Structure 1
């Protein structure tokens, strides 16, 4: 497996896989090309035998330069449980730490239990929300009306 910085020409390959990798959920609008175009230095793709098997899109906050944010991560479901996501995150953590970041944050949907479990295993803690469901703190309307999120934070 090889990790490299993401490039503009990776966008179509990634975007055509999004909905499939998310089990049919409509995810394409969550990752416009601007994230790839503007955050190449802190966004990565992982390949095996020339095929894209995962990616992470993240950046250092311009407003809070000691904080990094992971906007989107994807791993081919046929490759899961092989530490692809872990390798991508560890690469991202080291990259942003080398640039002075002390913490990383991200969000996920409360229905995405796979993501919640992954982030917890990766050492993220869930920030208190304004409600709780099944012990998961939820931030209601975090990304707009009806767009609830679980908010994570991890110190580096």
Structure 2
């Protein structure tokens, strides 16, 4: 992550995150898909879970507006119900920065952070159609939890987030 800055987000980062949720998924799901992603990361995550969430920025080139460009983010939190568990809610890496280890580095920082808080387990979910996410989580050492059906060889929880909102559930012991 040479030349990049890692920090906790602020509510003022919300617009940049919303832009990333619109642009970084290559049009997946069209405008409806972009809207669903944006709704998954409301400002409250930046207000109440900033201490366990991370942003990665790259300085803008000299002669530009002089700010920093968002390159990746991880929104995560400590479970209020299970004192052993933390949860990764949403992760994104700019398409130009994918496959360079940035996502893995964010996950490792999150694992270290939640260990410092005494957590020994991390959970996450994804959509069964998001094969890249399923493959990524399994490469990162997550185990797919048993679901109520199997779809294309993957355990799926039917209607996990409501009617028609099936999910794949992951857990990783730290």
Q: With the length of structure 1 as denominator, give the TM-score of the two structures.
A: 0.97
Mapping for residues 99-114 of structure 1, pairs under 5 Å: 99-114=117-132
After the TM superposition, which residues 7-18 of structure 1 pair with which residues of structure 2 at under 5 Å, given as runs? 7-18=10-21
TM-aligned CA deviation for residue 89 of structure 1: 0.6
- Bigger radius of gyration: 2
Structure 2: segments with no counterpart, 5+ residues: 28-32, 60-67
Residues matched between the structures, number: 156
- State the partner residue of 1:79: 97
Deviation at 1:29, TM superposition (A): 1.0
Deviations 1:44-69 (A, max 9, x none): 00112221100000000011121000
Equivalent residue for 2:144? 126
Is residue 94 of structure 1 aligned with residue 97 of structure 2? Answer: no
CA RMSD, aligned part only?
A: 0.9
1:143 matched to which residue of 2?
A: 161
- Correspondent of 1:45 among 21, 38, 55: 55
Q: Could you tell me how far 1:23 is from its partner in structure 2?
A: 2.1
Q: Is there any run of 5+ residues in structure 1 with no aligned partner, and where?
A: none
Query: Distance in 2 between the 1:88 and 1:48 partners?
Result: 15
CA distance in 1, matches of 2:159, 2:99: 31
Q: Deviations over 1:106-142 (max 9, x none)?
A: 0000111111111011000000101111111000000
Q: Deviations over 1:40-96 (max 9, x none)?
A: 110000112221100000000011121000111111111100111101110000000
Q: Secondary structure at the match of 2:96?
A: coil
The 2-side partners of 1:149 and 1:34 are apart by 23
